[in-house]
Amino acid sequence: MHLNLTFRRDAENHRPRINKLDSTKDWEQKTAGTYCFLDYLQRLS
């Protein structure tokens, strides 16, 4: 299952934040191919 999300770090507290769909940051990261892969299904089994 792919959610097609990109993330950035919050400037103040450095927490990961989800980029808005089709935002500039979202587009830049998808074009560059920089994704964050998390495999929750493997962790649950």
The separation between CA 9 and the C-alpha centre of its own chain, rounded to angstroms, equals: 10
SS (H, E, C) 3-36: CCCCEEECCCCCCEEECCCCCHHHHHHHHHCCCC
Q: Which residues contact 29 (CB under 8 A, 6 or more apart)?
A: 6, 19, 35
Note the pLDDT tens digit of each residue in 1-45: 677 888 888 889 988 899 999 999 999 999 998 766 666 555 555
pTM of model > 0.75: no
CB of 27 within 8 A of CB of 4? Answer: no
